[in-house]
Chains A and B, each alone.
Chain A
Amino acid sequence: MSDDHCILSVDRLSMRFGGIVAVNELSFEAGRKKITALIGPNGAGKTTVFNCITGFYKPTGGTMRLASDGGPIALERLNDFRISKQAKVARTFQNIRLFPGMTVLENLMVAQHNTLMRASGLTFLGLLGVPSWRTAEKSAIEHATFWLNRIGLYDRADDAAGNLPYGDQRRLEIARAMCTEPVLLCLDEPAAGLNARESAALSELLLSIRAEQGTSILLIEHDMSVVMEISDHVVVMDYGVKIAEGAPHDVRDDPRVIAAYLGADEEEAIAVMESDR
């Protein structure tokens, strides 16, 4: 894929923790304005890949190139907060990480930290309350309100984030990530713990983010109904390596994928599939 079609290309990514190889020479590409799903059994190394892409781990080998407007960015050279600030890659977490003691609106305001920091003249102009700061703050609140409406939490804007029901917290975390205006949104199991109705609403939200904001999405997911419904491309991992990739329906029928999920030998899986037909 060329840069026009590909937002992220991961090339021979490896991550070792001492003697344990969590990710071994993984290569895949995530399409621009596409939803790419990373699936695989527990312990396959999916979250490790995410932590490498979002700068929480420094990979032991390989490259990750993000095609941004200002030219390609080597993600493996950025670390920590710079991934979000400079490369515009946002993420959510498997176990929700909101700011529970802050209100829903405040959570979305914190996400706009870097924009607001500039507008407040690194705090000094903001301390004096100059008009340009006031307008910047107002537009930040408007931006947050826009996302509150998108996730249907406008009425709960002034409630503590920790008081929201589980499904709302999941959606708020996605909205908070979107408030950083990312080019790539990485979602770590966004449908975990959601019921069927909430899962459907989540799929709808992700599709609308791709369509309206044009944000590329990379997601880890166990809920196959969500993966099959919304993803354009699926990458399957097991034991730190890629075992299959392709369109959702091709991957679903791949014997290696079934073997990985069922924990059976390849021949057995093929035998199972053939007996089905």
Chain B
Amino acid sequence: MGYVTASATDHKQPRAGIAFILKKALISAFVALVLFSLMIGIRTEAGPTGQLIYWTRFGELATLVAIVFVGSIAIELVRQWLGPAGASQLVPAPVQNGLAAAGRYVAPALLIFTLLVPVIFYRQRYILDLGILVLTYVMLGWGLNVVVGLAGLLDLGYVAFYAVGAYSYALFATTFGLSFWICLPIAGILASLWGVMLGFPVLRLRGDYLAIVTLAFGEIIRLVIVNWQSLTGGPNGISSIPRPTLFGIPLTPGPNGLAAKLGIAFDPTHRLVFLFYVILAMALLTNWVTIRLRRLPIGRAWEALREDEVACRALGINTTTTKLTAFATGALFGGFAGAFFATRQGFISPESFTFQESALVLAIVVLGGMGSQLGVALAALAMIGGFELFRGLEQYRMLVFGIAMVLLMIWRPRGLIGHRAPTVYLKQAQAISSDLVKEGHG
């Protein structure tokens, strides 16, 4: 509440805030003193005979409290310099307009660049591998975006569908010897069946409750995989999963391989490039279908559901099937991505499908801006690629990454691309400000 009062007083007397700043800094310093006096001020240790030894470190305590005091003043001065507190003030309007204008060229530029990645980085396996990973998460993010971004249903167990897709492909391929391209639709359909199965019990749940049940669902799937040893191999996972083929031609060094048929020298990078384009095509298909669906009645019903469920019912929209189709569609793409993951790795185990994966994909959707296709792609690039970028920082990697995420959320609380593009227009499509767009009730 302190911020609210601050901005209210700022309006009346923008310069005369010294007393206020000092008061605030003193309060912060006092809180720091109370907190740190036991944590830093007194150090305890077990002595050689087991007795308690303690000594005081008032010097360090004083330093920390002083840092908090000065830091609080500095933060308040910066805040006053930027104007009244508020997200809209932090980013000036011209910058936002500029970003919107640049945004029109970002998507095509990004697509062209992505298409050229295997050409530019042909000799750098690491980049290609990273590209495949990023694209997998782009696809997962786009899939989850249907459920969370469009329909406004908070799903914390998305990894379950990823797992169902991966295990479906792995089992069908290793047991029946079916090819990747036959198993891909099967994996998607099975995952979306699980999506409907999850959807039914949670239809009446909203918000936090929905999140908890989906979280539990994700864990149930993982635990079933761990414990159903006879089918899934339990914690040992499934190995020697067949690699994808190009219309039945394997990408192997042998005489039947693609390289031999084309009459060129075999290179293991060929398969990497092939995988890159496979996941790119799958991700683009996800994107295309989602964009199409948004302009169809079902997509509008999803968004209307996010905006106001009661009004949807009053307009004769069957909210049950609308929610179920959202879950099923999201799960379908998750299943496709899972099948791809299995064929790329050649080995899967329950360890790949922990809650951390769900959280990562959800973070991508939220950071990208719920409902925005480009935002999700950029967020996946930043999250997965950025995480690799900070590798040089070693143990500080998580810290830097966390700070970056916090700053981004302060700067753009509704994600990188928070505004919403209308699905139909009479004269001119205008972006809708994120202030108006609802986040859904869960």
Q: A81-B317, A90-B314 are in contact. Are A101 and B307 (CB under 8 A)?
A: yes
Instruction: Report B-chain residues with C-beta under 8 Å of the C-beta of A102.
Output: 300, 303-304, 307, 420, 422, 432
B434: nearest chain-A partner, CB-CB = A101
Q: A97-B310, A101-B420, A120-B297 are in contact. Are A81 and B318 (CB under 8 A)?
A: yes
Instruction: Report B-chain residues with C-beta under 8 Å of the C-beta of A177.
Output: 314-315
Contact pattern, B 307-336, Cβ under 8 Å of A = 1, otherwise 0: 110111111111100000100000000000
Contact pattern, A 26-58, Cβ under 8 Å of B = 1, otherwise 0: 000000000000000000000000000011100
Within 8 A of A (CB), among B288-308: 289, 292-293, 296-298, 300-301, 303-304, 306-308
A158 touches B297 (CB 8 A): no
B96 at the binding interface (Cβ < 8 Å): no
Please give the distance in Å from B52's CB to the nearest CB on chain A.
Answer: 59
B436 at the binding interface (Cβ < 8 Å): yes
A126 touches B315 (CB 8 A): no
Instruction: Report B-chain residues with C-beta under 8 Å of the C-beta of A176.
Output: 315
Question: Which segment of B64-72, B118-126, B258-266, B423-431 sits at the interface?
Answer: B423-431
A260 at the binding interface (Cβ < 8 Å): no
Please give the distance in Å from A208's CB to the nearest CB on chain B.
Answer: 22
A110 at the binding interface (Cβ < 8 Å): yes
User: Which listed residue, B293, B306, B311, B428, touches A123 by the CB 8 Å rule?
Assistant: B293
Instruction: Report A-chain residues with C-beta under 8 Å of the C-beta of B301.
Output: 110, 113
Instruction: Report B-chain residues with C-beta under 8 Å of the C-beta of A82.
Output: 316
User: Which listed residue, B316, B428, B432, touches A81 by the CB 8 Å rule?
Assistant: B316
Bound: A110/B430 CA distance, A? 18
B319: nearest chain-A partner, CB-CB = A81
B371: nearest chain-A partner, CB-CB = A101
A193 at the binding interface (Cβ < 8 Å): no
B430: nearest chain-A partner, CB-CB = A158
A106 at the binding interface (Cβ < 8 Å): yes
Instruction: Report A-chain residues with C-beta under 8 Å of the C-beta of B311.
Output: 93, 97-99
Bound: A93/B425 CA distance, A? 26
Bound: A189/B438 CA distance, A? 25
Bound: A275/B309 CA distance, A? 52
Interface centre among B315, B429, B432 (most CB of A within 10 A): B315
B297: nearest chain-A partner, CB-CB = A116
Q: A110-B304, A113-B301, A160-B432 are in contact. Are A97 and B426 (CB under 8 A)?
A: no
User: Which listed residue, A93, A99, A127, touches B296 by the CB 8 Å rule?
Assistant: A127
Within 8 A of A (CB), among B28-68: none
B433 at the binding interface (Cβ < 8 Å): yes
Bound: A100/B440 CA distance, A? 12
A162 touches B436 (CB 8 A): yes
Q: A101-B436, A110-B315, A159-B430 are in contact. Are A123 and B308 (CB under 8 A)?
A: no
Instruction: Report B-chain residues with C-beta under 8 Å of the C-beta of A101.
Output: 303, 306-307, 420, 432, 436-438
B289: nearest chain-A partner, CB-CB = A127
Instruction: Report A-chain residues with C-beta under 8 Å of the C-beta of B423.
Output: 106, 109
Interface centre among A82, A84, A90, A120 (most CB of B within 10 A): A84
B422 touches A106 (CB 8 A): yes
Please give the distance in Å from B308's CB to the nearest CB on chain A.
Answer: 5
Bound: A82/B432 CA distance, A? 31
B433 touches A160 (CB 8 A): yes
Within 8 A of A (CB), among B393-442: 420, 422-430, 432-433, 436-438
A80 at the binding interface (Cβ < 8 Å): yes
Given contacts A99-B303, A109-B424, could you give 18 more A-B pairs where the C-beta distance is less than 8 Å?
Answer: A55-B313, A81-B313, A83-B316, A85-B316, A93-B314, A99-B304, A100-B307, A101-B432, A101-B438, A102-B300, A105-B426, A113-B315, A113-B317, A117-B297, A120-B296, A126-B297, A157-B427, A163-B436
Q: Which 7 pairs across A and B sit closest by C-beta, in order of nearness?
A: A84-B316, A101-B437, A85-B316, A99-B307, A162-B436, A116-B297, A97-B311
Q: Which residues of A contact B (CB under 8 A)?
A: 54-56, 80-85, 90-91, 93, 97-103, 105-106, 109-114, 116-117, 120, 123, 126-127, 129, 141, 145, 154, 157-160, 162-163, 176-177, 180
21 contacts between A and B (CB under 8 A): A55-B313, A90-B315, A99-B308, A100-B437, A101-B437, A103-B425, A105-B425, A106-B303, A106-B422, A109-B423, A113-B300, A117-B297, A120-B296, A123-B298, A126-B292, A126-B296, A145-B426, A158-B429, A158-B430, A160-B436, A180-B316
Q: Which residues of B contact A (CB under 8 A)?
A: 289, 292-293, 296-298, 300-301, 303-304, 306-308, 310-319, 325, 420, 422-430, 432-433, 436-438
